[in-house]
Amino acid sequence: QVQLVESGGGLVQAGDSLRLSCAASRSIYSISGMDWFRQAPSKQRELAAHISRGGTTIYADSVKGRFTISRDNAKNTLYLEMNNLKPEDTGVYYCHATLIGTDYWGQGTQVTVAS
């Protein structure tokens, strides 16, 4: 099992930056892939970014070039650096991991981008 706790969300202006963190309750070294999902009001949850254990990254087209996902295995922490934020980036951001076939989610952190 693993518990995931996100932090770093907040209210910002368009063009600002935020860094989200996801602290895991155990070593993430053996977790093959970790993700950041987001859910805007009245919309389905969507994948924003993925990182493999080896550091390979995948981004949604809408965030490519603006967001950077990274992981620090020594600190058991996943990050999402978000630059040039837009109002359409507003939503709840969730950390996700799959461990031995079971999906784990954090409680989410709210990001609100004002125009």
Query: 22-79, pLDDT tens digit by residue?
Result: 999 998 888 889 999 999 999 999 999 999 998 999 999 999 999 999 999 999 999 9
Question: Is there a contact between 23 and 74 (Cβ–Cβ < 8 Å)?
Answer: no
Q: Could you identify the residue written with the tokens 């518990």?
A: 3
Sheet holding 77-82, edge to edge: 4-7, 18-24, 77-82, 67-72
Query: How many angstroms separate the CA atoms of 31 and 39, rounded?
Result: 23
Question: Is there a contact between 99 and 45 (Cβ–Cβ < 8 Å)?
Answer: no
Query: How many angstroms separate the CA atoms of 64 and 48, rounded?
Result: 9
pLDDT for position 21:
98
Query: How many angstroms separate the CA atoms of 99 and 76, rounded?
Result: 14
Confidence of residue 105 (pLDDT cuts 50, 70, 90): very high
Of 30 and 83, more confident: 83
pLDDT for position 65:
98
Confidence of residue 4 (pLDDT cuts 50, 70, 90): very high
pLDDT for position 100:
87
